[in-house]
Amino acid sequence: MPHPSDATLRSRLLILAPAGRDGPLAQSVLARAGLAGVVCSDLSTLVEALQEGAGAGLIAEEALQDGIAPLIGWIEQQPSWSDFPFILLLHRGGSAEHGGAERHRLQRVGNLTLLDRPVGTATLVSTVQAALRARGRQYEVHDTLQALAASEARHRNLADELERLVAERTHSLAEANAKLSAEMAERQRTEEALRQAQKLEAIGQLTSGVAHDFNNLLTAVLGNLELVEARLTDSDSQRLVRSGMRAAQRGASLTQQLLAFSRKQRLVPQPLDLNRLVRDASEMLTRTMRTSVTVEITLEEELWPALVDPTQIELVLLNLAINARDAMPDSGTLTVCTANVSGASVPPELPRGDYVMISVKDNGSGMSPEVLTKAVDPFFTTKDVGKGSGLGLSMVHGVASQSGGCLRIESAVGQGTNVRVYLPRALRQPEQIAAEEAIAVARHDQATILVVDDDPDVRELTVTCLHSWGYRILVAENGLMALDILVRAEQVDLLIVDLAMPGMNGVEVVRRARELRPGMPALLVTGYVDFAAFETDPGDFILHKPYRVEKLAEAVATALDSASARVVPMKQPQRRKG
């Protein structure tokens, strides 16, 4: 039922006396006492007025004869705070003890006060006033309950808001804490990367300081040993020479590992079929392993070409195979796999795209977590003194990173190690190269070559080889001498110049030479330099020291052929079999 806030509705008296003039008379008497009365014509009108709001009800007993069900229904639906007061005017001559069924029914459910007729004015007024006061107190209780409920709702809302604010603040603090933790972790990673970069820079500076001179020495040693081997007939002497060549080659490999680790070498990435590389290297891998180690090869059938330097990836495969072999001193299985990698399989540190993966897996001793964290550190090794340089995995890591890929190592003690090298996919297929290709060189009676090198041993080796192949040779110890020869010489078909020389470096010599002879091809030979410091011409050819004699022949032939020189198959110096 409604709860009127209007004081007029709350204090009015509803009068139901349908017979005679009782209703208007009661209304008049109460009005003189200052009480507002509303006369209802029937029971339905009374119930409607009760629903609007009232302070008390005055009913003549004869109004109950037509049935009081609607009134009983309204009384029973009152809220808990309401006990609406009714004043019942009894029949004339009636009594409180005797009455009809409707009166008794109303007495059982309602707050009913009985008045005998005739009713005195004072009695009627005082009874109505008492009923209105009682009803007023009910309204006060109702208002108090409403205020308490509103207050409770406000407090509940405040509590909910406080809880929400606390939750938001807690969430903000948690986010700030997570962000701070992430920043601290990132700072630690950055500091570690800086320390690693400083180590790389230190190794790179050390390597760059000695690599050029060291490779000059190795070039002279390897080249002269090759020439000596070709002239020997005694098998024991040839064996000793080959032993010296192997030692020199190991020195060259060590230098390459240092350069790869420090990322100072210049990579020449090109499309490469890793499946072909693995198949070609399978015999070498088998020879490298002990007889107790089984080599298994699993290749992706339609493998994408990889963009990588072929020479460096060969060193990567060899280093990983040697590490795997040393991890299986008694017996085991070496597994080499290739696979295409894209989508979610790409390591998170790499940009999204397509990659080619080559892995080398062994079932040897494995690495502990402590060892695994240091596996790619420079000079870190678990091998005995003299059995490992600690640069194998460092070199692999350097080549992978510099090629635009990454290195992943999974290992557990007693379960073996799996090393995966991820390399970027090449957009074009590798060129098909014949398995055996004759080396073509310019006809010796027409080709004149100017050799410029400040190292006398390397210069002498280069001149000796070129003479043996029938070229005409001009020799200079430095750039100024070379330019003087170019001014005076009638014909120079090719300039072979050391890239790093005191005074005038090789690039400057080539530029000055082309001012005198435009379009002349040049072959730049280097043991090691930082190529970022030199702006070589895209048409120049590069030959790295130390090189084998046949590599020199190939480079010379290619350079001369680029100038449209007439070429013929060259007969290689024959090596006598011991």
Per-residue pLDDT of the chain (578 residues; tens, 9 = 90+): 545 667 888 889 999 988 778 888 889 999 999 999 999 989 999 999 999 889 999 998 888 887 888 999 999 999 989 899 999 988 876 676 666 778 888 888 889 998 888 888 899 999 999 999 999 998 899 889 889 989 999 999 999 999 999 999 999 999 999 999 998 988 887 887 677 667 666 666 666 656 666 666 777 777 777 778 777 778 777 777 777 776 676 666 666 655 655 555 556 788 999 999 888 888 777 777 777 788 889 999 899 999 988 878 887 888 888 888 888 888 889 999 999 999 999 999 999 999 999 999 999 888 888 888 777 776 556 655 444 555 567 778 888 888 899 999 999 888 899 999 999 999 888 765 433 343 444 444 568 999 999 989 889 989 998 988 889 999 999 999 999 999 999 889 999 999 888 889 889 999 999 999 998 899 999 876 555 455 666 668 888 888 888 888 888 988 888 765 433 333 344 443 33
**Contact, 409 vs 432, CB < 8 A?**
no
- On whether both 351 and 444 belong to a single domain, the answer is no
Residue 527 lies in a domain: yes
Whether 491 contacts 565, CB under 8 Å? no
Q: Which of 119, 141, 160 is the last residue of a domain?
A: 119
17 and 105 both lie in a single domain: yes
pLDDT at residue 222, as a whole number: 73
3-state secondary structure of 265: coil
- Residues 479, 360, single domain; the answer is no
Q: Which one-letter DSSP state was computed for residue 425?
A: B
What is the gyration radius of the CA atoms in the chain, in angstroms?
Answer: 54
H helices of 384-496, in order, are 392-402, 456-468, 479-488
Sheet holding 37-40, edge to edge: 37-40, 13-16, 56-60, 85-89, 111-115
91 in the same domain as 45: yes
- Looking at the whole model, is its pTM more than 0.85? no
Residue 189: inside a domain = no
Residue 345: give its domain's CATH number: 3.30.565.10
Domain match, 456 and 551 both: yes
Amino acid found at 67: G
Q: Which stretches within 34-120 are classed as H helix?
A: 43-52, 69-76, 101-109
Query: Which pLDDT score, from 0 to 100, does residue 573 have?
Result: 41
Q: What pLDDT, on a 0 to 100 scale, did the predictor assign at position 54?
A: 92
- Residue 281 sits in the same domain as residue 419: yes
Answer with the one of 86, 119, 152 that is the final residue of a domain: 119
With respect to residue 556, please indicate whether it lies within any of the assigned structural domains.
yes
Which of 92, 119, 146 terminates a domain? The answer is 119
For 5, 53, 146, 157, 160, the CA distances from 149, given in Å and listed in that order, are 16, 21, 5, 12, 16
Residue 172 lies in a domain: no
Sign, CA torsion 236/387/406/332: positive
- Read off the CATH number of the domain in which 113 is found: 3.40.50.2300
Half-sphere exposure of 333 (CA within 13 A, CB side): 8
**Does residue 115 sit within a domain?**
yes
What are residue 310's DSSP bridge partners? none
Q: Are residues 453 and 501 in the same domain?
A: yes
Model pLDDT, residue 193:
67
Counting the structural domains of the chain, the total is 3
- Alpha carbons 431 and 271: distance in angstroms, whole number: 8
Is 380 contained in some domain? yes
Kindly state whether residues 99 and 74 are assigned to the same domain: yes
What domain range includes position 517? 440-569
Claim to verify: residue 470 and residue 341 sit in the same structural domain: no
Q: Are residues 367 and 486 in the same domain?
A: no
CB atoms within 10 A of CB 206: 12
Q: Which residue is it, tokens 């977590």?
A: 369
Please identify which residue in the block is written with the tokens 């350079």: 559
In the chain, the N- to C-terminal Cα span, in Å, equals: 122
Q: Are residues 413 and 320 in the same domain?
A: yes
Domain check: are 15 and 65 in the same one? yes
